[in-house]
Amino acid sequence: ETGVTQTPRHLVMGMTNKKSLKCEQHLGHNAMYWYKQSAKKPLELMFVYSLEERVENNSVPSRFSPECPNSSHLFLHLHTLQPEDSALYLCASSLKAAVVGDTQYFGPGTRLTVL
């Protein structure tokens, strides 16, 4: 498989559940990103990892916990979410972070519904 993949594609969870979203990139990139897209809102950057180190945390609540074990994998661990956290969660990667002209490549997203 090529590009950026995300699993699962759809997830329904209760507010007391713990789940994880997974992202994998096969592009040899060194930077990975989590974005959130709520209905009728622009994509919002959540986290940035560069060479497995978190370089950006965009004031995201602690119920979202990212993990980047290596440059190819990125996880978003979810616990005690709220219904307003229901959204499309997109993962992206780029060759390097903070380089002008370095394009971000997106995965297909995970559609999360919190009941």
Partner 1 sequence: DQQVKQNSPSLSVQEGRISILNCDYTNSMFDYFLWYKKYPAEGPTFLISISSIKDKNEDGRFTVFLNKSAKHLSLHIVPSQPGDSAVYFCAASEGGNEKLTFGTGTRLTIIP
Interface map 6-25 toward partner 1 (x if CB under 8 A): x--x----------------
Contact flag: residue 93 with partner 1 (CB under 8 A) = no
Residue in 52, 56, 72, 80 binding partner 1, rule: CB under 8 A: 56
Contact residue for partner 1 among 41, 53, 62, 83 (CB under 8 A):
41
Among the listed residues 30, 107, 112, 114, the single contact to partner 1 using CB under 8 A: 107
Cα–Cα–Cα angle for 13, 15, 16, rounded to 5 degrees: 100
Residues in the site for partner 1, rule: CB under 8 A? 4, 6, 9, 31, 33, 40-45, 48, 50, 55-56, 58, 90-92, 94, 97-109
